[in-house]
Structure 1
């Protein structure tokens, strides 16, 4: 008699930081039948592989304060919980995995109301409000940074780090870099996470000529919301909205200038990429600064507030690092030291233990 595969619903939506770790986990649960829960018009509609059926619901997050809009959001939340309950029952799912965010609300509540186990993964050093509120309801909460456990006193947490996609773990991936960069030049990669970062883009364009004079090449991933993305032209400057082969680019880079989203930081740690971190100043509860401090505390990165960072400071900081390759080597080793390359396996093991118990 053939055993029926375990059916798991993955609720991961919004940014690459939520979606990519869930995809990495799914790659290690190939014997499971997996479906996805997302939101229309969000990144998951582009990123979730075709082998996973994508179900969407119209939930959204609560804004500050309480008013008419809050009642509308509450109504959507209740409707979404009912939709997910129906999906879980009709699909005979045996468990739910979520990476947090506002899609976790209906996913966790619907699953627990049906007696189904839920595993929640929190990637940030400062857990989000959803995780702090729903964590006690979950069967298990995995954390991406050990320090996150200090902010979840009522929750039993398991440190797994945050999974990265398999290509980030390949030592040979750098050979697949298809950008016209000479072999022996220093490379600076600039990116703002899956959402881009216009403020960083502007600083970099104003600073870059000094780096070109020092022999560096700059690969600048501007995102698709920067109206000035094409304004800088130079033989040592490559500007793209996005680049798919980030694993190869991060391994090739001598230095990254970026935000400090948990997913990007984890990828840089695995690749051993030294970084200058500029946390997104409007991130909920300033959680990107908490993430960045995990890296600065071990010497893997430098941290600058966007409000205090000038062209002169950024220019000189980068030049200083380029002129001291030994310092970059120490930063690279520090980043690798806090990486957990088998995070996806650890998280998959936890999912199996919870769902199959």
Structure 2
């Protein structure tokens, strides 16, 4: 073999598969870690589902492969054989992808895409690392973490439910923009109290309705409101005011949350990580239909730290919401104390810590 051939072989990039699908809570941490792995000269490909958010976010940066997979039901029902059949096909397809591409390992951020990724990598003896951002781990994390080579956790609370010898609390990686000060390109006076309302990547129509009912009272104090309604709210433009800015989405979330004095928000793990790193106090309204009520457990960790208050959606009244926010507006020192406590929950180097866990698993692999 010539020297030139030897150099060409040794410089060939190592390939790594990332399996992340569905919501921003799964995708944004994976995208953040992907940048670190790319800097380490890994050639990345992505595993997802054909009708989920990854089809919009991932192909701009990485090749996207899709498999047919749906969430597995906890109880056996009429659809169980169909779902198991889809899982078997997805595992086989993922296994073929890993073999053909000579991948060095798999990273997943949970959800049902994690099952075929972990099982396929396990069958080939490849490193398989999962990240669980919620306080209550999802079903796939609980079922399959024992056959993973590494488990990164966003919150300490999750260690109760998983094998202690596998887990490392690394925090939840956030988008790189959150790690540096960002300017806000909206016409909000620097001295004005800013309330940000965000229902997560799916929006929150019921919360939107409550906020619009309360908005006049908040605006009377001189506050401004940026309301991210999501794309599914038919009444999104039903309330108008010069200091009330309503839009389906907003790209510069880092700048928005860094400027916000308080947020009214769902309690997905990714959202909470961004609130923490941006030092944003919050009134949290957990999504009531989240699997195993995990958003309420996430929110409870922030309430315990003094960084937020939590209200259940079915119990929250217009008057409660209005008065809680009015009280905070009138007592800015309370918000300042909550901001400090929110940042105490942040892990600014979570991306690097999780990437290091992945690299250690790859290095330890035969």
Q: What TM-score bracket applies, with the shorter chain setting the length?
A: over 0.9
Deviation at 1:29, TM superposition (A): 1.1
| Match for residue 169 of structure 2 among 159, 163, 188 | 159
TM-score after normalising by structure 2: 0.95
Q: Secondary structure at the match of 1:227?
A: coil
**Structure 1 residues 127 and 64: CA distance shift in structure 2, 3 A:** closer
| Match for residue 320 of structure 2 among 297, 313, 332 | 313
User: Is 1:11 the equivalent of 2:19?
Assistant: yes
- The within-5 A match list for 1:111-260 is 111-153=121-163, 156-171=166-181, 173=182, 175=183, 177-260=184-267
User: Is 1:271 the equivalent of 2:278?
Assistant: yes
Q: Secondary structure at the match of 1:96?
A: strand
Distance 1:298 1:67 in 2: 41
Tell me what 1:84 maps to.
94
Structure 2: gaps (5+ residues): 1-6
Distance 2:230 2:309 in 1: 23
- State the aligned residue count: 354
CA contact (8 A) 1:188 1:218 kept: yes
TM-score after normalising by structure 1: 0.97
Q: Secondary structure at the match of 1:94?
A: strand
| Match for residue 114 of structure 2 among 104, 115, 130 | 104
CA contact (8 A) 2:20 2:110 kept: yes
**Structure 1 residues 272 and 49: CA distance shift in structure 2, 3 A:** farther
CA contact (8 A) 2:146 2:163 kept: no
Q: Deviations over 1:69-107 (max 9, x none)?
A: 221111111000000000000011010000010000100
Q: Secondary structure at the match of 2:246?
A: strand
Q: Secondary structure at the match of 2:206?
A: helix
**Structure 1 residues 150 and 260: CA distance shift in structure 2, 3 A:** same
CA contact (8 A) 1:57 1:80 kept: yes
Q: Secondary structure at the match of 1:307?
A: coil
Q: Deviations over 1:213-251 (max 9, x none)?
A: 011111000001111111011111000000010000000
Distance 1:273 1:111 in 2: 39
CA contact (8 A) 1:123 1:144 kept: yes
Deviation at 1:155, TM superposition (A): 5.3
Distance 1:8 1:198 in 2: 39
Tell me what 1:33 maps to.
43
User: Is 1:328 the equivalent of 2:331?
Assistant: no
Deviation at 1:339, TM superposition (A): 0.5
Structure 1: gaps (5+ residues): none
Distance 1:100 1:271 in 2: 24
Deviation at 1:296, TM superposition (A): 0.7
Q: Secondary structure at the match of 1:229?
A: coil
**Structure 1 residues 227 and 302: CA distance shift in structure 2, 3 A:** same
Q: CA RMSD in A?
A: 1.0
Q: Secondary structure at the match of 1:28?
A: helix
Deviation at 1:4, TM superposition (A): 2.2
Deviation at 1:112, TM superposition (A): 0.3
Deviation at 1:37, TM superposition (A): 0.3
Tell me what 2:4 maps to.
none
Tell me what 2:310 maps to.
303
Structure 1 outlier segments of 4+, above 4 Å? none
CA contact (8 A) 1:6 1:94 kept: yes
Deviation at 1:129, TM superposition (A): 0.9
| Match for residue 296 of structure 2 among 277, 289, 294 | 289
